[in-house]
Amino acid sequence: MRSRVSAKSFDSWLDRGDYSFADISIFRIIYALVTAAFMPSYSWIARFDDAFFRPPPGPFALLDSFPSALVLNALDGLIVVAVFFVLVGLFTRTSSIVLALLLLTGEGLAYSFGKIDHSILFVLAPIFMASAGWGNRFSLDAARKADKSTGKARQWILRTFALVVGVAFATGAVPKILGGWLDWSTQATYAYQIQRVLRGRSEWLATPLSTLDVPVVWEMLDWATIALELGLVLLVVTWPTWRFGLAMATFFHLGVLLSLNIDFWMNVVAYGAFVKWSAIPTPRIGSALARFSRRKKALICAAIVWVGIGAILSRGETPLTESFGWLVVVGGAALAGSYLVYSLVRFVRGDVTGELQRLTRRVGLGRRSNA
């Protein structure tokens, strides 16, 4: 009997949430536009000799060499087509899964030089979001089916994606712990800081920080990094705590950008899956769109499509390409800061207090007072 109650409570927790189809559909458009304009192509791999081929463990280890230039160019072309289908929301679930598999193939080949990048969350996002229903609004699929879905997205899919993000962070903490990051006699973050400056990456705060020889400060940063990477997965317990954790992760990426000149923009874009986009205050765009005729709505959709086509055609050639990662990380930090201020205001008004009371009743802490 107890196992049934536990299973029911677990299922209830998985399905609990406030993300709507509109939220994740807006994210679909943002994700597709970003991918169209700034996702690197993979045809450059053909310029390297097979002597550089050092694939990581996995399916790519079955290959003996890099694919031909024809195959890599075809891969780039298919990615462009898949991105366009995702942008307009046509056969959204299939095109999203195809896009993720194509990106996974390209990234796997790029990893075959011996360096593993931090792009997996960005690559996997379309699979989870397509299953959650990010094609149910603002898409050709919804128009073809006359779908008026205004309800909740599939919360358990989003919760699963959140767990994947949390576990991915936790796996980054384990080698740090084994490597001695918690040893007070060494400061790993300071070593990385000096290393980056010696390699010529002296922009932003890199040079001033490299002269800050205060061991206790750097050791605290070592511990804070591990605490964030290990603790993020624990914050999946509720959506408010998870959004708070992602805000902290975004600030962490901003710190890494300013100190080490490394932008984890792909991670920041992936965090956008958990933003309540429809709740962001706007000048009543939603109500204005509701009054638009079908023709005006079609013109707006056409404009978005043309922006997507322009992004695809200018792929890798825009002036923003070099600074795009910086813009994403800084913009993500600004959005995270706005969310924290908004949450603080709600807390002062008592909204969060009421939410905490409801949470304690859910986990059974309030039963004692009722006895």
Domain ranges of the chain: 1-20+152-280+319-363, 21-144+309-315
- What sections of the chain are H helices per DSSP? 2-15, 21-38, 69-88, 92-110, 120-132, 140-144, 155-178, 188-198, 206-210, 215-231, 239-260, 265-271, 285-291, 294-313, 321-349, 351-362, 367-370
The string of pLDDT tens digits covering residues 87-117 is: 999 999 999 999 999 999 999 998 888 777 7
Report the pLDDT value the prediction gives residue 356, as an integer from 0 to 100: 61
**Phi, psi at 20, each rounded to 5°:** -100, 170
Name the residue type at position 292.
F
In a 10 Å sphere around its CB, with 0-12 CB exposed, 13-18 middle and 19+ buried, how is residue 182 labelled? middle
Structure tokens at 349: 């008004």
* Per-residue tens of pLDDT for the chain, all 371 residues: 556 656 777 788 888 898 999 999 999 999 998 888 777 689 889 888 888 888 878 888 888 889 999 999 999 999 989 999 999 999 999 999 999 999 999 999 988 887 777 789 999 999 999 999 999 998 989 888 765 555 789 999 999 999 999 999 999 999 999 989 999 988 999 998 998 888 888 888 888 998 888 999 999 999 999 999 999 999 999 999 999 999 999 999 999 999 988 888 999 999 999 999 988 876 555 455 555 556 665 666 666 666 666 655 555 455 555 677 888 999 999 999 999 998 888 777 765 556 666 666 665 554 444 44
Contact (CB, 8 A) for 48 and 66: yes
Contact (CB, 8 A) for 109 and 123: no
Determine the Cα–Cα distance for residues 130 and 150; give it in Å rounded to an integer: 16
Residue 203's SS3 state is coil
Report the pLDDT value the prediction gives residue 369, as an integer from 0 to 100: 43
The sign of the CA dihedral 345, 347, 350, 354 is: positive
The string of pLDDT tens digits covering residues 129-146 is: 999 999 999 898 988 876
